[in-house]
Amino acid sequence: MEIHSISIPKLPDDVIIEILSRLPVQSILKFRCVCKSWLSSISSQKFVKTHLKNSKKDSDFRQHRIMLNCRGNFKQFSVRSLLYEPIIDTFDTNDVAHNPTKSVNWVVGSCDGLICVATNKKDLILWNPSTRIFKRLPDFGVEINQSGYFAYGLGFDKSSDDYKIVGFFNNSWFLFEVTVKVYSLKSDQWKTIKSFEGRWLMDDPATFVNGKLYWIANFELELKSIWDIVFLDLETEEYGILQVPDYVKDCLYSKLGASGECLYVLCNHLTSADLWIMHDCGIGKETWTKMVSVPYNDDFWMNSYKREFYVLKNGEVLLHSGSKFLIFDTKDGSFRYPEIRSSCDFMAASTYVESLVSPVGLR
Amino acid sequence: MVTTDEKGPLTAKKKSVIIRSCDGDEFLVSESAAVLSTSLKKILEEKEDRLIHLSDIDNKTLAMVIAYLSTHADDGLSDDLKRSFDQEFVSGKEFDVLKYLVLATDTLQVTCLCYTVAKKMADIMKNKLVEWVRREFDIQNDYTPEAEAEIRRLDAWAWDDRQLEDD
């Protein structure tokens, strides 16, 4: 039986791109061998960017993923499975952790599907876990001694269409002896930039939002001290300070996060944690709105939330506490605890989106 | 030309256009629904004629697109309801039907529906074999067997489907 009265003409190229740019990376890698013209479309920088854009907006969170760091072993799974499945399977993804028992691997940045991993503090690897391609970065030329202090961040500079890694290094207790280095993926080189003095950057990795890297910064090397937020604009390489109002920062422990191109601060108090969202109103003017106050649950011996990952449209907030994830429903105040199969006591978790962005340049 | 009087709230609701498919079926559509298609909007701005003939969209596909446009033009429906309508709209549809739909949305420039259909097509094809994809997209394999084997070798892990999540 004929269903349609006209035969299907070939789909135009732009329609094919609309479809292909919504596929998971693994399928795209397979479909490169469909024909030469697909290979050429898929390999173009334009396609990489279109796919990244779609990946970021993926409303069912299949292409948003979480990377667990299990004592140097990396495991990942989709945010979708975390939100909608009672038990989540993880996938081992250990391209970069060849010798997890002998070295300490730590995720020090995540941006556009690229993850920056530091091995033993200073050997940096830029890695795309979706394409499984990685690259060892050249040495940044600063010694880090045992008590040395360092902080990293990874972000994208739109003006130069370049990914940049920033490192703060300090081997002494003097704030004016901080060395700041910036690595550019395009030039494959580190350079020293002006240092930022007078604050300790406390959280690592930095949070990247809209061309800027953000760190919580203290005046002293103690957790409960006066803090602000320091940012570095990756285009101008200029620093700035976000003055955080007292009613926001009056807490025991705070952590930055990003969701949907917005900067969040999670502030842990004695009995609950407040999640604040910052609205940038332009030229040095910000407003802070309290999104939600999440009570601590008795199930957790550790009364603090480490990080906020996602603030969803339906009013759910995805948080990380200890070695567990929890989903707090702001509408009825209920908690859900997704269980991760064959999980370890993970030390840290990071989010990333599936992308084709290459850590080594054009393929 | 549309005069200012005709744009009054009461008459605007009633105003409609007739859209004819390539196989001759005619559909009465409110103007508010029709203008959600960028192409139809342009046609309506340019000519007085209330009858639009689409020479490359068949009646079954056109009926689906119009159902979509009418739902999205309904101010009485919440965004949540429209979102679940969109999901319902593409669910269970065969790949062939989606091909006609995605072409129609491309012709009529209904961007939102085009994205929804493209996403659904991607979901269907993500776990399929390369041979299935070639057949469905009517593509001739222009690789030599050696060249194809080389590409397959490049990311051998990608061919392990256990890594891909099902729905």
Residues A361 and A163: their CA atoms lie apart, in Å, by 11
B123 contacts on A by Cβ (under 8 Å): 22
> Best-predicted range by mean pLDDT among A201-205, A215-219, A309-313, B106-110?
B106-110
Dump pLDDT digits (tens) for B22-50. 988 999 999 999 999 999 999 988 887 78
Structural domain includes residue B167: no
The mean pLDDT of chain A is 84
pLDDT given for residue B12 in this prediction: 45
pLDDT given for residue B15 in this prediction: 83
Structural domain includes residue A217: no
Do B80 and B136 belong together in one domain? no
Is the model more confident about A93 or about A29?
Answer: A29
Structural domain includes residue A321: yes
Among A6, A26, A35, the residue with its CB nearest the CB of B139 is A35
pLDDT given for residue B35 in this prediction: 92
Helix (H, G, I), strand (E, B) or coil at A58: coil
* ipTM confidence score: 0.88
What CATH number does the domain containing B10 carry?
3.30.710.10
Residues A35 and B147: their CA atoms lie apart, in Å, by 11
Do B48 and B14 belong together in one domain? yes
Q: At what angle do helices A13-20 and B111-125 cross, to 10 degrees?
A: 60
- DSSP assigned state of A137: P
> Best-predicted range by mean pLDDT among A104-118, A201-215, B148-162?
A104-118
Do B114 and B147 belong together in one domain? no
Residues B1 and A342: their CA atoms lie apart, in Å, by 68
Domain that holds residue A301: 249-340
Domain that holds residue B21: 5-126
pLDDT at position A34 over 60: yes
Structural domain includes residue A276: yes
Do B107 and B53 belong together in one domain? yes
Structural domain includes residue A313: yes
pLDDT given for residue A222 in this prediction: 58
Dump pLDDT digits (tens) for A89-132. 888 877 776 565 666 788 899 999 999 998 877 789 999 999 99
What is the mean pLDDT of the segment spanning A305-310?
73
pLDDT at position A208 over 80: yes
pLDDT at position A2 over 50: no
Least confident window among A122-131, A139-148, A188-197, A353-362 = A139-148
Q: Is B80 an interface residue toward A (CB < 8 Å)?
A: no
Q: Before A86, cis peptide (omega within 30)?
A: no
pLDDT given for residue B10 in this prediction: 45
Is the model more confident about A292 or about A115?
Answer: A115
pLDDT at position A362 over 90: no
Do B111 and B52 belong together in one domain? yes
Structural domain includes residue A210: no
Q: What are phi and psi of B159, to 5 degrees?
A: -85, 0
Residues 6-45 of B with CB under 8 A from A: 22-23
Give how many domains chain B has, as a whole number: 2
Do B148 and B78 belong together in one domain? no
Do B133 and B113 belong together in one domain? no
Least confident window among A54-58, A82-86, B68-72, B84-88 = A82-86
Give how many domains chain A has, as a whole number: 1
Q: Is B163 an interface residue toward A (CB < 8 Å)?
A: yes
Q: How big is the A-B interface in CB pairs under 8 Å?
A: 105
Residue A3 pLDDT class (50, 70, 90 cuts): low
In sequence order, the 6+-apart residues with CB closer than 8 A to the CB of B129 are none
Structural domain includes residue A345: no
pLDDT given for residue A292 in this prediction: 86
Q: What percent of chain A has pLDDT over 90?
A: 37
pLDDT given for residue B2 in this prediction: 41
Structural domain includes residue A229: no
Residues A336 and A33: their CA atoms lie apart, in Å, by 42
Do B10 and B44 belong together in one domain? yes
Q: Is B156 an interface residue toward A (CB < 8 Å)?
A: no
Structural domain includes residue A6: no
Contact yes or no for B58 and A16 at CB 8 A:
no
- Model's pTM, two decimal places? 0.89
Find, in chain B, the residue whose alpha carbon is nearest to that of A95.
Answer: B157
Put the strands of the sheet holding A73-78 in their side by side order: A91-92, A73-78, A64-70, A348-353
Among B118, B122, B142, the residue with its CB nearest the CB of A36 is B142
